[in-house]
Amino acid sequence: MDGADPDDMGSHRFGHVVAFVSFGVRRMKTARRLLTVSASLMMMMFATALHMGCDEGLNATSTGSLEDPGVFSFPKVAPGASAEARVTLVNSGAGPVLLKDFAFAANTDVRDFQLSWFYGDSPDTPAQAGIINGMPSPEFQGILQVDAGDALTFVLTYTRMNTEIPSGALVMTSNDVNRGRIQIPIRGQAASAELVVVPDYVDFGRIAVGEQAALDIQISNVGVEAATIGALQVLGSASFSLSLNGGDPIQDPGLLQDPDGDGQPGLAPSGTFVLTVNFIAQFERSDRGELSIQSDAVNPDVRIDLVANGSSPCMDIVPRELEFGAGLIGRPNEGVVTIESCGAEPLRLDSIQITAGGDSFSIQDGALPDLPGLLAAADLAQDPPVKPSLNVPVIFFPELEQPYTGTLTVSGNDPQQPTVDVPLRGRGANNDCPVAEVIEDDVVVRPLDIVTLDGSASTDIDGPDGRPVAYEWVVVERPDGSTSVPVERLTNPARPAEGGPADQTSTPGAVFFVDLAGTYVIELRVTDSGGVTAPSSTCPQGEARMTIVANPDEDIHLQLVWDTPGDADQTDLDGSDVDLHFLHPRGADWFRDGGSFDCYFGNPTPDWGQIGRPEDNPSLDIDDTNGAGPENINLDSPENTQTLGGPYRVAVHYYRASVGPFGGADNWGASDATLRIYLGGVLTREFTRRLNDTNEFWEVAGIIWANGDRRVVEIDQVSERLP
C-alpha cells in the first residue's frame, strides 16, 4: 500500500491489514474504532502509542475467563438506514481480564460502522462513543478492563451505504486464562455457493445378479460463488461406483478441479456437471449405498441415497445397542428400541423377545402388537424417506449394584438380515430421584414479552448441595409458527428475537422470548449426578411446567409466520425472507409516499395520527430475515377509517426466496404464509396463501375501524411483481 492516496483509505476492502494499537493503560469506559490504514499510517500510530504508555499488565496470564461472546448479527437494512448489534463479554473467571490491540476488518467501508460500549448488559445503560467516522474518540486510551463477574457490552451500529452485506470481525488480544486472541464475527447475509443434486434419490430398480446399470445425476451450483468439490465418496456398499468425464473421481480427485469444464477452478455459479453412478448386482437382495458430495458450499456434505433391488423388505434397528447406564436399584428404568421398515415392500415382524438377561430386562407389558404382523413399506421417494416404525419399550430392573447384560432379538422377512440381535447393557446404582420444581407455574403476558424461567426450587437429597446437576427447559406446547426457545440470556435485550447463547444446563434459570400470541407450556426436567432424570418413568412425579398465556392488548395486532418446505432448517441463519406491510388509509402506494404511510422493515415506526404523539403510531417489532418468522406489527389508538375514507390495509411481500441477498437462484422455493389479525386482543381472522417466488406481493385484507364497526374485510389479491 506504499504510495496510496490518503483520501482513498476508507475504500480499502476486507483482506487488507486493519489495526489499532494500545493508547495507554488507564481504564476508560469507552469503546474503540478500528479503521483500515496504510502501512505508513500504522507505523505512525504505533510510534505514538510507544510514547503514550506501555501495557505490561497484559503480559501475565489472568485468572479471568471470558465466555463465548457470540456474533454481531445484523438484520436486513434498507439503503440509507441503520441497524444496531450488541455483543456482551462476560468475565466468569476469578480475576480481571484486560483487552487491547483492537482491530477491525470488514468487506464494506469502515466508515459505515460506529462502535460504542458500556459496562454491564442492561439495555438501558447509555453507550459511550468510541469510534466515529473511522476515527477513535479523544477519550479512548487503548486498554479496557473487565473485572471478575463484570460484563462489557459493545454496541456496533451499521449504516447501509451500498449493496454489500457486512461481514468481518472485531478482534482484540487479552490476558484471558483460556485464550489470548478474541474474535467477534460480524454477519450480514453472506454470499455463498450452494449445491443442488437432481435426482436426490437414485433407485436402480430390480437388477439381476451379474448385470450392471448406470444412472446420471446432475450437480448444479445455485449460489453466487464458485464451489470447490473437495471429495466424492460412496458409503455402505462396494456395488456402487462413480464415473466423471471418462474417469473415476474417487481414484482421481483431479477430475473435480474443473468439473463443469469452463476453464476456471471449481463449479461456477449456475454451473452444472453430470456424474454417473454405476451399479453391479452381486447378489439377489436389496443393496443400499450413500453418495457423499463434500465441498465448501453452504451445504458442505450433500448425501444422496443409492438403492438397487429396493423393492424387497428391509429392517433397520435404532439403536443397534441399548445402553441404560446407571439404573436405579429396585425401580424400572426404561429404554426404547425402534424397528424401522426401510424397503419398498412391507416388513413382516415374526418375533420380538428378550433372548438373554430375562431376569433383569423385559419388554413393557402390552407394548407389542400381535405377531406376526406387518409394518408398511417405506416411501423412498420422499426426502427424507418416510419409514414406518414400531417402538419397543425395554425395561431394566436391577436388584444389585453390579453390571447387567442382555439381548433383544428381532426376527422378520428382511432377506439380508432376517434376525437382528440388540445387545442390552446397564448397571445397578443406589440413588434417590431428583425432584423438578418451578418457582412460577402460570403467567399472563403480552406478545413480545420476556419471561424468566426459574427452577432453583428443584432438589436432589443425595446430590451436591442437595440440588440436581442439570436443568433442561423443554417447550412442549406453543402457538403455530412460534420458533422461540429458552436461552441462557438474551444477546441483545432490546432485540430479543435474535435470541442468545444456548441455555446452560448447569444453571436452573433461563429466559424465554414470547414471539407470538397464544399459549405456551414449558416443562422443566432435572438430572442428578448419576444420570437419572425426573420426571420420567424411572422417577415419576407431577409435571413441573410453566404455562404462559400471551394476549395482545393493542387495538390492532398483526402476526405473520411462514413455512418454506424447501428449507430443511428454518431456524438457522439462512432461509426465506417474507415481510409484513401495514398501510395507512391515506397511503396511495406501498413502499412509496416517502415511506410515511407504509409500516414495514424500511419504515418500522412511522408517525401516524397526531404528529409527535407516539401512542397512535404503528410499530414493526420483529423483522425476521431467515425463515419461518414471526413478524409483528402493533397499533394502539387507530384513527376512524370512516372519517379517513378507507380502511387500513395489510399485505405480505415475498422479499427473498433465494440464498443470495438480492435475488439469484430460487433454491428455497415456495413458501406458505399465514397472517393473523387480532382486533382488541381477539383473533378475528386468519389467512394462508402459498407465495411461489421472490417479489410476489399479496394484499391480504383491509381493517375497518369506526364507531360500532370494527372488522376485517378480505382482499386476497396477489401480483408477481411489486405494486
Q: Is residue 508 part of a domain?
A: yes
Which one has a higher pLDDT value, 684 or 134?
A: 684
Residues facing residue 73 across a β-bridge: 187
Q: Which amino acid is at 322?
A: L
Shared domain for 323 and 458, answered yes or no, is: no
What percent of the chain has a predicted confidence (pLDDT) above 90?
Answer: 40
Q: How far apart are CA 633 and CA 617, in angstroms?
A: 10
pLDDT value at position 610? 82
Rounded to a whole number of angstroms, the distance between the first and last alpha carbons of the chain is 48
CA angle 385, 387, 392 (to 5 degrees): 150
**pLDDT value at position 61?**
61
- Does 249 map to a domain? yes
CATH label of the domain that carries residue 362: 2.60.40.10
Estimate the share of the chain in helix, then strand, then coil, as percent rounded to the nearest 5.
Answer: 5, 45, 50
In this structure, the answer to whether residues 540 and 563 fall within a common structural domain is: no
Least confident window among 112-116, 365-369, 575-579, 604-608: 575-579
pLDDT band, residue 43 (cuts 50/70/90): very low
Q: What is the mean pLDDT of residues 409-414?
A: 94
Q: What value does the mean pLDDT take over residues 171-182?
A: 85
- 370 and 469 share one domain: no
pLDDT at position 299, please? 84
What are the grid coordinates assigned to 689, written together? 396463501
> What is the pLDDT averaged over residues 475-492?
89
Residue 50 has pLDDT above 60, yes or no: no
Q: Is 644 helix (H, G, I), strand (E, B) or coil?
A: helix
Q: Which residue has the higher pLDDT, 52 or 434?
A: 434
The predicted structure's pLDDT at residue 681:
85
Domain ranges, residue 447? 442-550
Give the DSSP letter of residue 545. Answer: E
pLDDT score at 626: 61
Q: Are 188 and 76 in contact (CB under 8 A)?
A: no
Q: Is the pLDDT of residue 227 over 80?
A: yes
Cα-based torsion angle of the residue sequence 611, 612, 616, 621 in order, rounded to the nearest 10 degrees:
120
CATH of the domain at 567: 2.60.60
pLDDT of residue 194: 82
Among 103-117, 215-229, 414-428, 564-578, whose mean pLDDT is lowest?
564-578
In a domain, 622, yes or no: yes
Same domain, 533 and 580: no
Residues 560 and 533 in one domain: no
Residues 402 and 478 occupy one common structural domain: no
| Contacts (Cβ under 8 Å, ≥6 apart) of 683 | 517, 676, 677
pLDDT at 458 over 60: yes
Instruction: Note whether residue 434 is domain-resident.
Output: no
Average pLDDT score over residue span 647-664: 73
pLDDT at 698: 95
User: For residue 383, what pLDDT is reported?
Assistant: 61
Residue 336 lies in a domain: yes
Q: What is the mean pLDDT of residues 510-523?
A: 92
What pLDDT is recorded for position 127? 86
| DSSP E strand boundaries for 329-485 | 333-341, 347-356, 361-363, 373-375, 389-396, 403-412, 419-429, 442-445, 450-454, 470-477
Tallying the residues shown for the chain, one arrives at 723
- Residue 76, domain member (yes or no): yes
Q: Residue 365 — pLDDT band, cuts 50, 70, 90?
A: very high
Q: Is residue 483 part of a domain?
A: yes
C-beta of residue 273 within 8 angstroms of C-beta of residue 238:
no
Total domain count for the chain?
A: 5
179 with 55, same domain?
Answer: yes
> Binning pLDDT at 50, 70 and 90, where does residue 31 land?
very low
Question: Which among 294, 256, 251 is positioned nearest to 275, based on CA atoms?
Answer: 256
203/392 Cα distance (integer angstroms): 30
Listed residues 139, 161, 187: the one ending a domain = 187
Q: Is the pLDDT of residue 502 over 80?
A: yes
Is the model's pLDDT at 195 over the cut of 60? yes
| pLDDT at res. 660 | 44
* Higher pLDDT, residue 622 or 356: 356
Q: Which three cell numbers stand for residue 252?
A: 482421481
Q: What's the number of CA atoms in the CB half-sphere (13 Å) around residue 701?
A: 18
In this structure, the answer to whether residues 220 and 348 fall within a common structural domain is no
Which of 187, 221, 243 terminates a domain? The answer is 187
Q: Is the model more confident about 109 or about 203?
A: 203
Q: Are residues 460 and 577 in the same domain?
A: no
CA-based nearest residue to 21, from 34, 9, 12: 34
* 362/288 same-domain check: no
Give the residue with greater pLDDT, 553 vs 523: 523
Q: What is the pLDDT of residue 311?
A: 72
**Pick from 293, 308, 323: which residue ends a domain?**
308
Strand-pair category, 648-656 with 619-622: unpaired
> Does one domain contain both 289 and 322?
no
pLDDT for the residue 628 = 67
Rg (CA), the chain: 30
pLDDT reported for residue 420: 95
At residue 573 the predicted structure's pLDDT band, cuts being 50, 70 and 90, is: low
Our measurement of the distance from residue 417's CA atom to the centroid of its chain's CA atoms, rounded to an integer in Å, reads 39
Dist. CA 401–CA 44, nearest whole Å? 72
**Please, are residues 509 and 455 in contact by the beta-carbon 8 Å criterion?**
yes
User: 436 in a domain, yes or no?
Assistant: no
| Interval 169-177 mean pLDDT | 86
Residue 664 confidence (pLDDT) above 50: no
Residue with cell 428449507: 567
Residue 688 vs residues 562, 674, 714: alpha-carbon distances, Å: 9, 4, 12
Do 533 and 562 lie in one domain? The reply is no
pLDDT at 234 over 70: yes
Using alpha carbons only, what angle is made at residue 194 by residues 300 and 85, rounded to the nearest 5 degrees? Answer: 85
Instruction: State residue 201's pLDDT score.
Output: 87
